[in-house]
Chains A and B, each alone.
Chain A
C-alpha cells in the first residue's frame, strides 16, 4: 500500500508495512492507553508500522501509544501535525516515528546512485537538547536495526565535520535555529535540502515566542520553497492557544491554514505543596534564606532534588546557604548560564550519572532534557507564570503515570499569594503563555541578507515566500521593500551609500550580494540571541592588581553593568563563592577568594520574568476573596486581615492607591499587580506628571506587585483637592506625548535599539578575540541611535525598535490594558501612616537603585563633595 495518500507521488513506494487499523488499537498489544482516549479524527485510517518496529515494541513489552500511532497516520497521509503532550508522554519518539518508519523501508542506495540528502531535520532551542536527542534516538534505532544515520550540527561541531556533512549528509540532522539560518545562507542550500521530507520542531512553545522563532519561521518558509510538500511536526507542551502554533507550522498561503492537532491530556496530577514554614515569612526580599533548613531536610529525604530559582544571584545565594547547613556534605551542585562552560558540563555529567543529590539551577535547565532520576522539584521564589511552573515541575519523574512532586518556597509574603495562585492555576490546567507577536523587521532584514547570500532572489518571489510564515503573514509590500532597501544601503533618506551597497538589483531583476565578503560577514553575525556585554571573571591572588598574576582560573562571566558599580575590595557572590573585586583589565574582571566574609554587595538584577497577566489577575481575585485566605499560611492571612482593618484590599478590577506621610516625605503606593516592567514604565510616566503638577517627586521603586513614589509635596492632599485628580493622573493619554518624550531619551529604548541594530546586521556583533579593539574605536549604538533619531526619526530600524519596546522592556501594551481597565475604578485611601500591604515595597527603597533621570544629580553631588573637601580654590590654580 502507498505510504502516503494525497502527498503526491514522490514518496509512494511498495513497502512491507504491517497495517494496523486504529480501531484495533484498544487491544493492549498495540496500545498503551494514557489516561483518556485521545480524540481520533479519522478512526479508520490505516497506519503502517513496519515489522521491525512491531517486533521491537513487542520485545520491550511496550505498545505504541495512541498519539504516536495517530501522528504516524496523519504524517503518512501527508499532513503536518502539532502534537501537544505533557512531559513523559513519549513525544520525541512520536515526532520521529514517521521518519524512522519511512527510512526503515527506503530502498537501499545502489552503488553509483547519487548521494541522498537530508531526510529529516530536527530543530531544538538548545544545543544540549540536540545532543541529548542523538543519544536517546540512537538507542531504538540501533535496537531495531535501522539503516539510519543521525548526526548533530551545532555551534560546537568542528568545521571538518560540517564539511563532511555537506558532502555526505546524514539521514537525520539534529540542529538549532541558528544553524538552519546558516545552512540556508549557503550557496548549496537548495541541493542540500532537496530530499527533505520532515522537519521536527521540539519544544515549539518556547521557540515561537521570541525573535528566534521569527527567524526560524522565515527559515521554514525558505525550506518550503525548496520542497513544496515538506511536512512539519511540532512537539509542544500545553499552550493557551494551540491554533497559533498550528498556523505557525504551515504555509499561510492560503491564509489561516493550520496543521493537524493531536492533544494528549492527562498524565498524573503533580503533587505540589507550598512550604508552610515554621519560620516567619519575610515581608520583602528574594532570598528565601529563612527556609534553608527546611529545604535541606527535603533534599535529605529524596534521591535527587532539582532546585529552580528565577535569577542567577538567587541561585548563588541559595547554593551558598545550603552548603552552610550541609552537615552531611551531600553532593549539591550549582548550574547557571554565567558559569564557565567546562564547569557546567561537569555538573551535567554528574547529574546524568546520578552522582548528585541536588542541583541549584536557573532557566538553563528549563527545557526538556532528561537527566538522571529527579524525584523532587523545589521552586524557590515565585514562579511568575503558571505555564513556567508546570514546565519546571514536569522535570521531576519523567513518567506520565507517576505524579511529579514539587514544593514551592515563597521568598516573601506577596510571593506566598503568587505561589498559591500559581498552584491553583496548575491544578486547573490554566495556561498563560504569551500571545505571539508580529515578526520583527530586524529579523526579516537578517533573513533577506541570508537569502541573498544563498542565491540571488527576485523581490516579488521573496515577498510571497516571507508572507507564508505566520509571523509575517500580515507584512505589507512597502514595508518589505524598505527592509530590502535597508539591507542594500541602510535605507537612509540621504542616499549616500549606493556605492557601498551590500546587495544590488541586477538588470535581470535579481538581487545579488555585492561581494563574497558580505556573505562572510553575514555568517559571523547570524542569529537573534544578543549577549549582554559581559566580562570574564578570573581568579588572582588577593591584593594583586592583576598585572603580575594572569594565571588564575576563569570562573565564568558577569555583566559589565554590575561590575561597573563595584569598587576595589567589594565582596560579592559568584560561582558559589564569596569573591573580592580586585579590578578590571580589558575584558577581564579580577577577583580573589574572600572566604568567611559576607558578600557586601547584593545583586538582584530583578526577576528575569515579569509576573504573567494571568497570574496577576489570579492574585487580585484571591485578595478580593477572604474565603480563599484560609488556604494561605496563617501569618499571611493575618497580614491581609490587618490590611483590611488599617486600609483596604484592592478589589479584583480596581486599582488601590494609598498615600501617607513618612519622615519628611510623602508617599504614594499603587497596587496594579502588572509586573515590574509595566510598573517601571508607569513610574517613569507618573513622576513626570507629578512633577508638572508641582508635587516635586523624588524617586520611585517598582516591584512585580506594586509601585511606590515619594515626593516633597503632599500628594494625598493634592488628590483630595483634585489638583490633579487621580483619574486625570492615571489617564490613558499618558501613553501619548509623555511616553514619546520620555522614550526619546530612555536607556530602555537605547538598549532595544542596540538589539535591533545587531540583529538586523546594521552593526556587527562583537566576537571573542575582537574585544581588544577598545572603546574609542567602536561606534556605540547609543550614539547611532541619537544621530538617527534626530535626523531620520521614521527610519525602519527605529520603527522596529518602537514596536519591540511596546511589547518588550517597556511592556507598554500591558500598561495600556491596565489603564483602560481601571478607568473610573481607582480607590484612593489617604492614610496617616504606612499600611501593612505597603511594607514590602517600602522595604525595597534603598535596596534597589532608585529610578529616575538622576545622573546629573549624582554628578552634582560628586562635584560638590570635591568643593567641600578641597575648597573652590582647587579648580582655579
Chain B
C-alpha cells in the first residue's frame, strides 16, 4: 500500500534521531517510534479536557477525546507497535477516565488490545485510570532509555519525558512560524503534547532552564508531512 510505503520511507536512515545511542523516528504527528523495540511513545493526551473545563462552566466542544483517539488510532495503525507508552497526563484529571463516553472507552480498549500498554503517572493523573486495562507505572526503563512524565532536574542520559508541551518558533522572511516540537540535545528528549486541546510552551521558556545542553539543542518542529530539524541557535522565544 502506498501509505505504508510512505511510512516505511519515514524510517529512512536520515530521519532517525539518536537519543543516548538508541534510534527513534520523530513522527510529524507528534509520536516517537523506536523500530528496534517496536515501541511507540505518546505524551500528554489530556483526554477529557473538554469535559473537565465544562464542569467549571466553559462549554467547549466535547469532541477532543474523540479527535485525540482518532489520531492515535492512525499512528498505531501505521506502526503496529507491540509496546505503547502513554507518557503521563493521559487524562486531564483524575476523574477523566470515569467521565469518558462509552463509545470512546470502547475505541481506546480496542487500540490497547494485543499490545503491552503502559500508563506513566502524570501530575494531572497520578492514579491509574479507572476501569481501563494497561499497567500504571511511575517510570519505565527500556534499553538505555528511561521514560517518565516530568523531566528531572538532575541530568539523566536517555530520559524521554513530556509534561512541558514544547513548541518552537522561528522567524523567516519577517514571518513567524510556531509549531509543536520534539526538543532534544542527543542525550534527552522532551515530547510534544498529543491531545487535541493541549497548548504548548516555547522551549526557550524559563521552565526548560538547565534541561538541555544548549550547544546541541535541536527542535524537531512538526510539519504537515515531516518534521523539520531546527538548530537551537535559530529559535526565538515567545
Contacts and interface: CB of A to CB of B under 8 A. Distances in A.
Nearest to A855: B177
A interface bracket (residues with beta carbon within 8 Å of B): 35 or more
Contacts of A777: 199
B60 A763 contact: yes
Interface string A824-852: 00000000000000000000000001100
B169 A778 contact: no
Contacts of B17: 875-876
Interface in B73-103: 101
A783 B197 contact: yes
User: Which 7 residue pairs of A and B lie closest in terms of their CB atoms, listed nearest first?
Assistant: A490-B59, A791-B63, A877-B18, A858-B172, A496-B62, A863-B228, A564-B176
A787 B201 contact: no
Given A500-B57, A778-B199, A787-B64, A866 B230 contact: yes
A776 interface: yes
Interface residues of B, number: 57
A534 interface: no
Contacts of B8: none
A489 interface: yes
Nearest to A795: B61
B203 interface: no
6 contacts: A565-B171, A776-B193, A776-B200, A784-B60, A866-B229, A877-B186
Contacts of A874: 218, 231
Interface string A250-272: 00000000000000000000000
Given A779-B197, A791-B67, A877-B186, A862 B170 contact: yes
A791 B196 CA distance: 12
A704 B134 CA distance: 60
A783 B66 CA distance: 14
A560 B169 CA distance: 14
B14 A494 contact: no
Interface string A30-45: 0000000000000000
A856 interface: yes
Given A584-B238, A784-B197, A862-B234, A565 B176 contact: yes
A497 B238 contact: no
Interface stretch (B30-38, B47-55, B108-116, B147-155): B47-55
A482 to B, nearest CB: 14
Contact of B54 (A490, A795, A862): A490
Contact of A862 (B164, B165, B172, B202): B172
Given A776-B193, A779-B197, A859-B223, A489 B165 contact: no
Contacts of B229: 863, 866-867, 875
A769 interface: no
Contacts of A561: 176
B18 A779 contact: no
Contact of A774 (B54, B67, B198, B201): B201
A788 B218 contact: no
B179 interface: yes
A861 interface: yes
Contacts of A565: 171, 174-176
A493 B11 CA distance: 40
Nearest to A517: B57
Contacts, number: 158
Nearest to B15: A875
A564 B170 contact: no
B9 interface: no
B170 A859 contact: yes
A866 B231 contact: yes
B170 A858 contact: yes
Nearest to A790: B67
Contacts of A564: 169, 171, 176, 178, 236, 238
Nearest to A779: B197
Given A584-B237, A862-B230, A876 B58 contact: no
Contacts of A775: 165, 199-202
Interface in A556-596: 560-561, 563-565, 567, 583-584
A548 interface: no
B2 interface: no
Contacts of A489: 59
A875 B218 contact: yes
Given A490-B61, A866-B230, A497 B67 contact: no
B221 interface: yes
Contact of B51 (A497, A502, A567, A855): A497
Interface of B: 13-14, 16-18, 23, 49, 51, 53-55, 57-64, 66-67, 101, 164-165, 169-179, 186, 193, 196-202, 218, 221, 223-225, 228-231, 234, 236-238
B49 A779 contact: yes
B58 A762 contact: yes
Contacts of A567: 171, 236
B63 A776 contact: no
A563 B178 CA distance: 14
Interface string A788-799: 101110010000
Contacts of B198: 776, 783
A364 interface: no
Contacts of B237: 583-584
B64 to A, nearest CB: 6
Nearest to B196: A787
B76 to A, nearest CB: 19
A487 to B, nearest CB: 9
A492 B18 CA distance: 45
A583 B231 CA distance: 20
A293 B229 CA distance: 52
Interface in A33-64: none
A584 B204 CA distance: 11
Contacts of B49: 779
Contacts of B218: 874-875
Nearest to B225: A856
Contacts of B197: 779, 783-784, 787
Given A787-B63, A795-B61, A856 B224 contact: yes
Contacts of B225: 856
Given A490-B54, A496-B101, A858 B63 contact: no
Given A775-B199, A787-B63, A855-B175, 20 more contacts: A490-B61, A494-B101, A561-B176, A565-B174, A565-B176, A762-B59, A763-B60, A786-B67, A787-B64, A788-B61, A790-B63, A791-B61, A791-B63, A854-B175, A855-B177, A858-B172, A859-B223, A865-B234, A874-B218, A875-B229
Contacts of B101: 494, 496
Most buried by A among B61, B101, B164, B171: B61
A342 to B, nearest CB: 27
Contacts of B57: 500, 502, 517-518, 521
A676 B67 CA distance: 36
B177 A858 contact: yes
A774 B61 CA distance: 22
A490 B57 CA distance: 10
A858 B60 contact: no
B16 to A, nearest CB: 6
A876 B59 contact: no
Contact of B228 (A496, A784, A859): A859
